Structures are given as C-alpha cells and as structure tokens.
C-alpha cells in the first residue's frame, strides 16, 4: 500500500515545506446545517466526512500528524440530545471506520479525560488505539472531553505527586519533564492550527503545545472544508516565516 501520493499535491505548494503536524478546530457544523434548514446533527455527520478527507490529504501529502478537536470539556453544556448524538456518532464512526484505518496505516489516539465517557465508547476507543498502534502512515489524534487547562492542571498534580513520593526534585522540573505529563507526550507540537467558520479563538485547545504554532482562521464552515480549502491554508502557512523567537532571516542577512 502506498504511504504517500504526492501526485495530488497542488503544484504551487512546496513539498519540502509542508507542516508535519496540523491541529484543527472543526467549527461551523451546526451553522452549516441550520443555514440549509437541516437539523444540526446533519452538520456533524457532514463534518465527519470532511475530517476523513482531511486525514486522507495528510496521509497522501506526507503530513504525519492530524489532531482534531472533536469534543471539549465545555461541550457537555450543549443540549443533551446533541451531546448524545455526538457520542453515538463517535462510537459509530469507530465501528465503521476501524477496518479502513487499519488498512490505510492510520494510527489513532484519543486525548482527553476518557473516564467520563460511556463504557461502550471507551471500549471502542481503546480497541481502535490497540489495533492501530503499530500503524505508521499517519497519526490521527482525536481530542474528546479535552480541555487544555485541565490537561495542564493534571500535569501539575502528577508532578506534585512525584515530588511528594520523593521520586522527583522540584529543581528537576523543566519543560521537557513537564511535557511528559501531557496527553500528547512523545508527539511533536502542531506546526499549523486551522480553525474554520470565522471564529478566532483557541478555545482551550492544546494551550501548551501551540506556543509556536502558526494560526490560520478561515470563514469556510467545516462541512465545506475540502482539499481546495486545505490548499489555501497550506499556501498561507508556506508564506509565513517561522522565527521561534529569533530575528527575521532578512534582518539576519543584513547584520551578517
């Protein structure tokens, strides 16, 4: 099975300068449906199709990780029927898509506090993680019952416990040690965040991990986010100069 298929990469994108990790906030599903006079859940179903296409593009173009925000710790405040629908959709997708993910070399992981989810959904999640753990074509992280602040508080609590047990000195705590306590331990930070539907917020998503991430906001609603929309996002990304706190290349050349 081919790992990548760069033949579909638009010509004006530089294959050497693609992000290795994209994070996405899939916003606008509800509005997409409401605008067409359809119930909101239809938008979530359509959003799931966009997500599948986005994952396929990442795999084809050698973008090694996609991290999608499927359900935040705040999303429990939505109407009970919508929460129920979303939980059912996650479970259904996992059941229906697992075989294809295995075949396509997708390695799926869930980040967030899974313990609040129904036992049957947790079972499907653990099964899909177990059965795809050795896949290498593309990493697909799905944030469910995820909140960045909760993740950071949890990391602090775990470090405090290590200190209390005498297995860690406070002076040994640094960024690398801290990161080990996050859900994303061992994974690279996102290079690019895409948020759809015109909202320009981080909404408690990957707060630590996105310290140097390039942010891209588009008015496109997530169910309409297709290859062409991803192409636009990548063009913007390739137009950015990532400085990581350093001075610009142009200024550095002048000083040299």
What is the binding site for ligand FPP (CB under 6 A)? Answer: 26-31, 44, 47-48, 51, 68, 70-71, 75, 86, 89-90, 93, 142, 197
Name the residue with the smallest CB distance to ligand FPP.
30
Q: Does residue 233 sit in helix, strand or coil?
A: helix
Of 71 and 217, nearer to ligand FPP (C-beta) is 71
Rounded to the nearest whole angstrom, what is the least distance from the CB of residue 187 to ligand FPP in the complex? Answer: 17
Residue 8, phi-psi category: left (phi > 0), alpha (psi -120 to 50), beta (remainder): alpha
Of 117 and 210, nearer to ligand FPP (C-beta) is 117
Rounded to the nearest whole angstrom, what is the least distance from the CB of residue 152 to ligand FPP in the complex? Answer: 22
113 catalytic, yes or no?
no
DSSP state of 191: S
- In total, the chain counts a number of residues equal to 256
Identify the active-site residue in 5, 14, 60, 75: 75
Distance, in Å, from the CA atom of 141 to the CA atom of 109, rounded to the nearest integer, reads: 5
Of 19 and 112, nearer to ligand FPP (C-beta) is 112
Distance, in Å, from the CA atom of 136 to the CA atom of 101, rounded to the nearest integer, reads: 11
Please answer whether residues 110 and 135 qualify as being in contact, where contact means their C-beta atoms are separated by less than 8 angstroms: no
DSSP state of 167: S
Rounded to the nearest whole angstrom, what is the least distance from the CB of residue 219 to ligand FPP in the complex? Answer: 12
116 catalytic, yes or no?
no
Sign of CA dihedral 43, 18, 142, 233: negative
Q: Does residue 143 sit in helix, strand or coil?
A: strand
Rounded to the nearest whole angstrom, what is the least distance from the CB of residue 218 to ligand FPP in the complex? Answer: 14
Distance, in Å, from the CA atom of 35 to the CA atom of 71, rounded to the nearest integer, reads: 22
Of 9 and 26, nearer to ligand FPP (C-beta) is 26
Sign of CA dihedral 147, 140, 244, 230: negative
Identify the active-site residue in 27, 60, 189, 191: 27
Of 91 and 189, nearer to ligand FPP (C-beta) is 91
Rounded to the nearest whole angstrom, what is the least distance from the CB of residue 197 to ligand FPP in the complex? Answer: 6
Residue 13 tokens, joined: 């994108």
Any idea which residues carry the catalytic annotation? 27, 75
């Amino acid at each position: 099975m081919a790992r990548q298929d760069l033949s579909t990469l638009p010509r004006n994108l530089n294959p050497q300068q693609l992000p290795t990790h994209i994070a996405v906030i899939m916003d606008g599903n509800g509005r997409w449906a409401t605008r067409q006079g359809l119930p909101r859940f239809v938008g979530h179903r359509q959003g799931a199709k966009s997500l599948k296409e986005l994952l396929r593009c990442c795999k084809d173009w050698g973008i090694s990780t996609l991290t999608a925000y499927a359900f935040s710790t705040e999303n429990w405040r939505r109407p009970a029927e919508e929460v129920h629908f979303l939980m059912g959709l996650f479970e259904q997708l996992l059941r229906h898509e697992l075989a294809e993910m295995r075949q396509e070399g997708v390695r799926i992981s869930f980040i967030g506090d899974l313990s609040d989810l129904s036992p049957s959904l947790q079972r499907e999640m653990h099964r899909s993680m177990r059965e795809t753990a050795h896949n290498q074509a593309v990493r697909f992280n799905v944030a469910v019952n995820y909140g960045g602040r909760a993740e950071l508080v949890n990391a602090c609590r775990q470090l405090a416990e290590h200190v209390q047990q005498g297995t860690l000195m406070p002076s040994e705590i640094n960024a690398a040690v801290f990161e080990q306590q996050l859900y994303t331990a061992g994974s690279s930070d996102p290079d690019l965040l895409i948020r759809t539907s015109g909202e320009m917020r981080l909404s408690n998503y990957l707060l630590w991990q996105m310290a140097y991430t390039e942010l891209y906001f588009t008015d496109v609603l997530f169910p309409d986010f297709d290859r062409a929309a991803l192409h636009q996002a990548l063009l913007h990304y390739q137009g950015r100069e990532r400085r990581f706190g350093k001075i610009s290349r142009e200024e550095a050349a002048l000083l040299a």
